[in-house]
């Protein structure tokens, strides 16, 4: 897959990827077997696979999730790291689940005793980084004394999170690009072994309050939301809410609201609504402001989607 290509990913594409990487995919939005729904669109965007070193593989995903999907990893890796740059992913089984949100990472040793279940909700832009190392690569990169902890979840430092953000837009290709991600991969491995920072402890002190704000913005993006009201809902000052929201989800509450509105508007356009209707129903008062924001976010004008629907 080329780094610049933006394309539609179907059920068949996911099944093909699953065959190569020993991952079982499920698609709750369809009632028929995946093989019969092969051409159903699941996501749209870019996926890049990079071999950083023999036994070290990196997968970068930057997609808009159209329909929800779940995955069950059956392969093996001496160390697997999943990093969320934007969006959210639910990890675990029905008995033990956790949400991995923007700016967080999860690492584990993948084998027949420990598998990885994940669920990706629809209606979101999802940017993730998955890094896997086999046993030989772990010894060559990290030495035989590298601790093999079962699993752990942590928040990225601001500096590393910013570096990963910039790497997604890096124009580098070939060897320079591979070297860039080799350095970031080593930083991720190092940070995964460091004790939790004071900032991480503070952020997780009131996750339910932050989550209530995020859910409100996600479930009612068309409503008018003021930062002062959101801060009162979370029992924080506006500046504290912005800082903790950014650390937990990778952006400010207002930026998150803008993404939710544009995601809703995109679905409305695909369902056949006019530009004026999509703008109004997603919370935009002026169609011109909506058109500018939409083009900046998706790289195309809203009229492109209305013509496509017609």
pLDDT in tens, 270-288: 888 899 999 999 999 888 8
Is 59 inside a domain boundary?
A: yes
For residue 70, give the H/E element and its range: strand 69-73
Backbone angles phi, psi at 53, to 5 degrees: -170, 150
Residue 2 has pLDDT above 70, yes or no: no
CA 177-63-50 angle, to 5 degrees, is 25
Say yes or no: 68 and 92 in one domain.
Answer: yes
- Tell me: do 130 and 30 sit in the same domain: yes
What is the enclosing helix (H) or strand (E) of 71?
strand 69-73
* 55 plus 161 within the same structural domain: yes
Based on the fold, state whether residues 43 and 174 are members of the same structural domain: yes
Are residues 178 and 227 both part of a single domain? no
Structural domain contains residue 1: no
pLDDT over 60 (residue 265):
yes
Same domain, 178 and 269: no
Q: What pLDDT score was predicted for residue 200?
A: 42
Check residue 142 and give its pLDDT.
75
Residue 67 lies in a domain: yes
Is residue 307 pLDDT above 70, yes or no? Answer: no
Please report the pLDDT score of residue 6 as a whole number: 62
Q: 131: which 2 tokens?
A: 């890094």
- Shared domain check, 103 and 52: yes
pLDDT at 185: 93
Domain with 177 in it: 7-193
pLDDT of residue 87: 84
Give the gyration radius of the chain's Cα atoms. Answer: 20
Cα angle vertex 184, ends 182, 189, to 5°?
Answer: 95
Instruction: For 130-159, write each residue's pLDDT tens digit.
Output: 999 998 988 888 776 555 566 788 888 878
Domain boundary among 145, 160, 193: 193
Give, for 99, the enclosing helix (H) or strand (E).
Answer: strand 97-101
3-state SS, one letter per residue, for 135-198: HHHHHHHHCCCCCCCCEEEEECCHHHHHHHHHHHCCCCCHHHHHHHHHHHHHHHHHHHHCCCCH
| Domain co-membership, 214 together with 244 | yes
Above 70 in pLDDT, residue 114?
A: yes
The verdict on residue 144 lying in a domain is yes
Mean pLDDT of the 95-105 span: 78
Taking the mean position of all CA atoms in its chain, how far away is CA 69? 13
Instruction: Say if 76 falls within a structural domain.
Output: yes
Query: What pLDDT score does 60 carry?
Result: 93
User: If we measure between CA atoms, which residue out of 23, 123, 137 comes closest to residue 72?
Assistant: 23
Decide which of 168, 193, 218 is a domain's last residue: 193
Does 200 reside within a domain? no
Q: What is the pLDDT of residue 147?
A: 58
What is the per-residue pLDDT across 13-57, written as a single tens digit (0 to 9) for each?
999 989 888 899 989 877 677 667 788 889 999 999 999 999 999
Pair 16, 103 in one domain: yes
Residue 106 lies inside a defined structural domain of this protein: yes
pLDDT recorded at residue 198: 39
Confidence of residue 1 (pLDDT cuts 50, 70, 90): very low
User: Is residue 3 very low, low, confident or very high in pLDDT (cuts 50, 70, 90)?
Assistant: very low
Q: Which CATH number goes with the domain that contains 218?
A: 1.10.10.60
Considering the domain architecture, whether residues 116 and 265 belong to the same structural domain is answered as: no
Look at the chain and report how many structural domains it folds into.
Answer: 2
pLDDT of residue 246 exceeding 60: yes
Of 305 and 176, the structure prediction assigns the larger pLDDT to 176
Q: Is residue 35 part of a domain?
A: yes
16 and 153 assigned to the same domain: yes
Same structural domain, 39 and 126: yes
Q: Which of 114, 205, 208, 102 is nearest to 152 (CA)?
A: 114
């Amino acid at each position: 897959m080329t780094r610049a290509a933006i394309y539609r990913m179907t059920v068949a594409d996911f099944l093909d990827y699953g065959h190569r990487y020993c991952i079982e995919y499920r698609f709750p939005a369809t009632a028929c077997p995946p093989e019969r729904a092969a051409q159903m669109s699941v996501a749209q965007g870019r996926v890049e696979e990079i071999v950083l070193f023999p036994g070290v593989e990196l997968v970068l995903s930057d997609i808009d999730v159209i329909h929800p999907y779940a995955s069950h990893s059956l392969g093996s890796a001496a160390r697997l790291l999943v990093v969320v740059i934007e969006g959210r992913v639910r990890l675990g089984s029905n008995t033990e689940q956790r949400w991995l949100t923007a700016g967080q990472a999860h690492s584990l040793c993948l084998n027949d005793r420990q598998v990885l279940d994940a669920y990706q909700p629809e209606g979101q832009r999802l940017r993730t980084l998955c890094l896997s190392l086999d046993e030989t690569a772990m010894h060559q990169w990290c030495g035989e004394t590298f601790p093999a902890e079962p699993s752990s979840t942590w928040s990225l430092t601001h500096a590393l999170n910013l570096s990963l953000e910039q790497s997604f837009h890096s124009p580098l290709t070939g060897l320079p690009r591979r070297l860039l991600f080799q350095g970031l991969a080593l930083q991720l491995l190092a940070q995964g072994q460091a004790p939790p920072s004071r900032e991480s402890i503070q952020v997780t002190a009131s996750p339910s309050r932050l989550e209530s704000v995020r859910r409100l913005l996600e479930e009612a993006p068309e409503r008018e939301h003021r930062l002062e009201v959101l801060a009162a809902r979370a029992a924080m000052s506006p500046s504290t809410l912005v800082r903790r929201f950014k650390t937990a989800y990778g952006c400010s509450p207002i930026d998150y609201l803008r993404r939710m509105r544009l995601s809703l508007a995109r679905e409305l356009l695909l369902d056949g609504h006019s530009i004026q209707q999509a703008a109004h129903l997603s919370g935009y008062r002026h169609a011109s402001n909506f058109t500018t924001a939409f083009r900046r976010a998706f790289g195309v004008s809203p009229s492109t989607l209305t013509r496509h629907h017609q």
